[in-house]
């Protein structure tokens, strides 16, 4: 296996009644705070008032940027970066789901440079060497943005949705209170659960050598989602279910399970192209793609990993023929996404059209023309996977 560095310096306050620490944590970075949030859910659940009360109590000066979109747009990032410069902001406080936190990360980086923040993501790939400090309060368990250094931004003009990792964008502190996710809709709960699952699958199905300990950890996390996502759907205010989903979301993508694996992910690059053109929810795109991608990639050389997945995550009887066991694991995963979580099962249902397959497949494979993941995929392979989703 590969050597690796473990270094995840995000301070996490987990659980209820932790917001009392917000003022003290923000004050470490200065007095002037840019509070960022989305379309208003934080007001509807009463969180906005609680946050403002803490900020006022700590004597902080607050500037606000609201309206950050799901699949956040570069326009919001530009606006936030400008506000940071104009108001001499010391620290950004992102309150919301992955979209708000992601956009805030690029605002924090954009505040430290003179160029357009889109240059971090377009072909210029401008370096991200600095960012203002970021603190987050998570309200939706899905992306893991609260504990990772990544962010994904959409540009409707160019029909792009592009992600980037940069260490300065890691939140310094994140508040994870499962009760803040009680109000998340069944649809977003389902999509978030698929996203968490996918972050694990992208690492678990990877032809680089595995660390047994990490495989067990990943299987445990996948079982956690299979157990608790349906509970959260049935009983939105079940603390145990929401807490398990929330902590799994952070650990699925904070770098720990990666254990030195360097192969690229497969379903995420494909999904970002679906979201870029159709503006669909990220987790929905992943649900559509993942079981089909698994089926497409399955062969004699990798069947043992599928068997391990089927037996250890879904409890399939491993004494049968390996191919039978592998296919049963894929079938149960699809059943979980589409029947248990209730997500649409085809491109047709969500309006994704054949005419866009070629361009989405080409872009998913990047400049090199190959998606180097679990199994290397050409644009023609990706188009075939899209066809399997119809």
Long-range contacts made by residues 3-11, C-beta under 8 angstroms, separation at least 24? 3/260, 4/258, 4/259, 4/260, 6/255, 6/256, 8/147, 8/254, 8/255, 8/256, 9/170, 9/172, 10/146, 10/147, 10/170, 10/171, 10/172, 10/173, 10/174, 10/254, 11/172, 11/173, 11/174
Number of chain positions touching ligand NZQ (CB under 6 A): 34
Which residues are CB-neighbours of 300 under 8 A, at least 6 positions away?
none
Q: Specify the residue, 90 or 195, whose C-beta has the smaller distance to Zn ion.
A: 195
Q: In whole angstroms, how close is the CB of 257 to ligand NZQ at the nearest point?
A: 14
For residue 213, the minimal CB distance to Zn ion (Å) is 24
Half-sphere exposure (CA, 13 Å, Cβ side) for 267? 30
266 touches ligand NZQ (CB under 6 A): no
Q: Which stretch binds ligand NZQ (CB under 6 A): 3-11, 16-24, 181-189, 333-341?
A: 181-189
β-pair type (32-37, 91-96) = parallel
Residue 269 binds ligand NZQ, judged by CB under 6 A: no
Which option in Zn ion, ligand NZQ, none does residue 152 bind, with CB closer than 5 to 8 A by kind? ligand NZQ
Segment 191 to 250, residues that bind ligand NZQ, using CB under 6 A? 192, 195
**Count of beta carbons in the 10 Å neighbourhood of residue 114:** 6
Say which DSSP state 175 is in.
E
Nearer to ligand NZQ, 230 or 285 (CB): 285
Instruction: Give ∠ CA 11-227-331 in degrees, rounded to 5.
Output: 120
User: Which partner, Zn ion, ligand NZQ, none, binds residue 181 by CB below 5 to 8 Å per kind?
Assistant: ligand NZQ
Find which of Zn ion, ligand NZQ, none residue 76 binds, CB within 5 to 8 Å per kind.
none
**CA–CA distance, 22 with 32 (Å, rounded to integer):** 14
The item of ligand NZQ, Zn ion, none sharing an interface with residue 294, based on CB under 5 to 8 Å by kind, is none
- Helical (H) or strand (E) element with 33: strand 32-37
| Residue choice 23, 29, 38, 326 for contact with ligand NZQ (CB under 6 A) | 38
Whether 146 contacts 101, CB under 8 Å? yes
46 vs 315 by CB, closer to ligand NZQ:
46
Using CB under 6 A, which of 22, 29, 71, 363 touches ligand NZQ?
71
Lay out the site mask for ligand NZQ across 137-176 (x = CB under 6 A, - = otherwise): --xx-xxxx--x-xxx------------------------
Q: Is 178 in the site for ligand NZQ (CB under 6 A)?
A: no
Candidate list 70, 110, 269, 329; residue touching ligand NZQ; CB under 6 A = 70
For ligand NZQ, give the closer residue by CB, 96 or 311: 96
The Cβ of residue 301 has, within 10 Å, a number of other Cβ atoms equal to 9
Interacting residues with ligand NZQ between 74 and 113 (CB under 6 A): 96-100, 102
For ligand NZQ, the binding residue among 188, 248, 250, 254 (CB under 6 A) is 188
Please report, to the nearest 10 degrees, the dihedral formed by the alpha carbons of residues 284, 287, 292, 294 taken in order: 140
Contact 26, 93 (CB under 8 A): yes
CA distance 149 to 181: 22
List contacts with ligand NZQ (CB under 6 A). Answer: 38-42, 45, 70-71, 96-100, 102, 139-140, 142-145, 148, 150-152, 180-181, 183-184, 188, 192, 195, 253, 268, 282
């Amino acid at each position: 296996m590969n050597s690796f560095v473990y270094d995840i310096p995000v301070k996490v306050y987990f659980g209820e009644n932790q917001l009392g620490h917000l003022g003290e944590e923000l004050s470490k970075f200065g007095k002037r705070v840019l509070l960022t949030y989305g379309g208003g859910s934080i007001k509807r659940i009463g969180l906005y008032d609680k946050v403002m009360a803490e900020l006022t109590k700590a004597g902080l000066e607050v500037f606000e940027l609201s309206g950050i979109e799901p699949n956040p747009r570069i326009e919001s990032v530009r606006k936030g970066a400008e506000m940071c410069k104009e108001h001499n902001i010391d620290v950004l406080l992102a309150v919301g789901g992955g979209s708000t936190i992601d956009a805030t990360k690029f605002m924090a980086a954009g505040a430290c440079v003179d160029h357009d923040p889109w240059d971090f993501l377009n072909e210029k790939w401008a370096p991200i060497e600095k960012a203002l400090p970021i603190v987050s309060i998570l309200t939706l368990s899905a992306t893991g943005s609260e504990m990772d250094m990544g962010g994904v931004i959409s540009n409707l003009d160019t029909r792009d949705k592009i992600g980037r990792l940069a260490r300065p964008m890691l939140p310094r502190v994140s508040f994870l209170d499962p009760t803040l996710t009680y109000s998340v809709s069944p649809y977003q709960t389902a999509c978030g659960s698929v996203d968490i699952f996918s972050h694990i699958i992208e690492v678990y199905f990877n032809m680089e050598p595995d660390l047994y300990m990490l495989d067990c950890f990943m299987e445990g996390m996948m079982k956690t989602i299979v157990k608790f996502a349906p509970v959260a759907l049935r009983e939105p205010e079940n603390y145990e279910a929401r807490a398990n989903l929330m902590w799994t979301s952070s650990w699925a993508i904070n770098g720990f399970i990666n254990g030195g694996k360097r192969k690229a992910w497969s379903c995420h690059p494909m999904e970002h192209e679906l979201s870029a053109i159709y503006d669909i929810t990220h987790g929905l795109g992943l649900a559509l793609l993942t079981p089909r991608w698994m089926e497409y990639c399955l062969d004699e050389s990798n069947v043992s990993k599928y068997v391990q997945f089927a037996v250890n995550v879904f409890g399939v009887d491993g004494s049968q023929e390996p191919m039978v066991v592998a296919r049963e694991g894929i079938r149960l995963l699809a059943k979980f996404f589409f029947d248990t979580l209730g997500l649409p099962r085809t491109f047709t249902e969500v309006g994704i059209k054949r005419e866009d397959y070629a361009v989405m497949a080409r872009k998913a494979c990047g400049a090199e023309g190959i998606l180097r993941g679990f199994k290397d995929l050409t644009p023609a392979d990706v188009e075939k996977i899209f066809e399997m989703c119809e």
